[in-house]
Structure 1
């Protein structure tokens, strides 16, 4: 197939966009009786885990970002945010407005000594269970090289909505996987990014 003049050229894949919609199954994960998950209000704990200032945490809260913490006993060991309002990714390359009935999940951090124990997918599922009574769609991204995030997101029950690619212009675009055009379209609208069919992948 010949490329049309002016059509953007795909370069390297940057990452993956995943989504979970109300009604999607949640895979069963073994319970963690020694862990507690809850919405967070401890500014100091959030700032420490996220490695940002107290002021930055308070700014996130004021912008409609809802943080959650995972505790082992009384020690906060992991954090993640569910964002409404304005959000961004790609080191500020893309800024977008999260529409009503949607949430953008981001800023997930697990203390290094607690990684590899399955906290991440359980924290994701906790957020889904807490918010899916009112929210229809949840979205999350990760860099292609971050295979640990990919495994955790998949275990939590998310579906790949799109691959994220760099264009020859340096901007980003989405490429839908086979059979997921509805979710890819929704992701492109959410992020305000072009959706491009990669004919080489079928």
Structure 2
């Protein structure tokens, strides 16, 4: 699973304007249940473990969402979890509703989260291998893709760095994993 990062102070690229776009934190359990197809106990668990949800709107119609984790992340499929360092966050479980895809909503939502989270200096986000739409949206928003998990025997065992940048090096500290391979310059 490749991961990108954006650090406070890095310029954000200009995006084509989206008329009537807005995004904000939501605690509306009924709306979240409908959009994200999560049960109330699942939503409550996310809130109780320091996660919060942003919903994107076009003309006040909900069109996309994404979660922000500030304390811990768990990848149960890979038997891996980690604590998020101070002033960092992990962005995850994003979805643009099918009828709204292809309009640039995802990068706008990511940049809105960056702008509305002033206590966070480093943002991290991953995407499924082969999900080019997600990879493209992440890059358009200004994230630099720097690392990938190394998976051995069904478990996350380390990281492959895509370059030797400070951001790539910092991914080892963020995920608390060893660097096992490097590609690129």
Task: Find the residue that maps to 1:28 and give its secondary structure.
Answer: coil
Partner Cα distance (1:186, 1:31) in 2: 32
Give 1:94 shift: 2.0
Change over 3 Å in CA distance of 1:89–1:120 after alignment to 2: farther
Alignment of 1:104-143 (within 5 A): 104-131=90-117, 133-143=118-128
> Which of 150, 166, 170 is the aligned partner of 2:154?
170
1:188 aligns with 2:172: yes
Structure of higher CA gyration radius: 1
Partner Cα distance (1:114, 1:65) in 2: 25
Moved over 3 A (4+): 89-93
Residue segments in structure 2 that go unaligned for 5+ positions in a row: none
Partner Cα distance (1:130, 1:159) in 2: 20
Partner Cα distance (1:152, 1:161) in 2: 15
Partner Cα distance (1:90, 1:198) in 2: 26
How many residues get paired? Answer: 184
Partner Cα distance (2:161, 2:167) in 1: 8
Give 1:19 shift: 0.5
Residue 12 of structure 1: aligned partner:
none
TM-score scaled to structure 2, two decimals?
0.91
Partner Cα distance (1:81, 1:171) in 2: 24
Task: Find the residue that maps to 2:95 and give its secondary structure.
Answer: strand
Residue 69 of structure 2: aligned partner:
83
Give 1:116 shift: 1.1
Task: Find the residue that maps to 2:27 and give its secondary structure.
Answer: coil
Residue 8 of structure 1: aligned partner:
none
Change over 3 Å in CA distance of 1:90–1:147 after alignment to 2: farther
Residue 154 of structure 1: aligned partner:
139
Alignment of 1:67-78 (within 5 A): 67-78=53-64
Give 1:91 shift: 3.5
* Native 8 Å contact 1:164 1:175 kept in 2: yes
Residue segments in structure 1 that go unaligned for 5+ positions in a row: 1-14
Give 1:190 shift: 1.8
Residue 79 of structure 2: aligned partner:
93
